[in-house]
Amino acid sequence: MTEGRGRPLIGCSGWDYPEWVGRFYPSRGRIDRLSRYAQVFPVVEVDSSFYSIPTVATVAGWDRRTPRGFRFAAKFPQEITHQRRLVDCEEPLRLHYEAFRPLLRSSKVAAFLLQLPPSLPFEEGRVRAFYDLLPKQVPVAVEFREPSWLTPRSLDLLREFHLSTTVVDEPLLPVDLTLTHPELAYVRWHGRGSPVWYDYRYRPEELRAWVPRVEELLSRAKLVLGFFNNHFHADATANALELDEMMGIGPPPWSGRLDQPFPPSAPGAPRGPGGP
């Protein structure tokens, strides 16, 4: 691990997938999936907030069901990014932050993620006006999905508003370790499947290639968050644990474990492209 820096927080995008039962969650008996997840990983990315803003009661439940020290990152709703396309977003932004107030009060929100649509090109005036609306109390990472955002002017705007880039592993864009804010490095492993990115199990050599990259990010950012989004077949949980092991991270301090458990799907040869 990099000297002088903390450990990266590695987890998954989402936790409530039925297909994880029998692979990551026990196949028998009732179980609180979030509580179980939080005994294995220190952080989770809330994927459901992209589809609709959760209620305050739901978010308060997430707070109660996770240990002190557990962290959340959460996507902004698609109403902001995909429907309003960053225009006239004051009200949904207000509702989003209001919904996450329980986790903000308990200091469990590590960051918010702005996942942009691939159909939205960079327009400086629109983007500047939107960035100016964002509250400053929580770090925000921005994920580009369209090439016109990969320009010096776009990156300069992130720096101006103290926002972070999102480092991605995906089929369409290159891996770029550019950071725009020293407070946060945000990484998302989407998978490399075809036709569905997320239906993919990273091979050990692919994960090993990420060890020096994460180490480099640790040397340049105060906090490194990383999320595996290849949720099919619970591959995200297996790959996150494999990367943890390669980096010598170990389980969360509140888990009471000395070793990191592997989910039932992890042993054996990893699935490569096209493999079941």
Fold that domain 9-247 belongs to in CATH: TIM Barrel (3.20.20)
CA distances from 95 to 45, 50, 88, 273 (A): 19, 13, 13, 40
> How many Cβ atoms from other residues are within 10 Å of residue 256's Cβ?
8
Residue-range domain boundaries for the chain:
9-247
Mean pLDDT, the chain, integer: 92
First to last CA, the chain: 34
**SS3 at position 12:** strand
Tens of pLDDT, residues 229-260: 999 999 999 999 999 999 999 899 998 765 65
Cβ(122)–Cβ(151) below 8 Å: yes
Tens of pLDDT, residues 146-159: 999 999 999 999 99
pLDDT of residue 261: 61
Rounded (10°) angle between helices 56-64 and 90-99: 30
With a CB cutoff of 8 Å and minimum separation 6, the contacts of 180 are 155, 158, 159, 163, 164, 165
pLDDT bracket for residue 263 (50, 70, 90): low
With a CB cutoff of 8 Å and minimum separation 6, the contacts of 258 are 250, 251
Residue 15 has pLDDT above 90, yes or no: yes
pLDDT of residue 101: 98
pLDDT of residue 112: 98
**SS3 at position 33:** helix
Give the mean model confidence (pLDDT) for residues 53-81.
Answer: 98
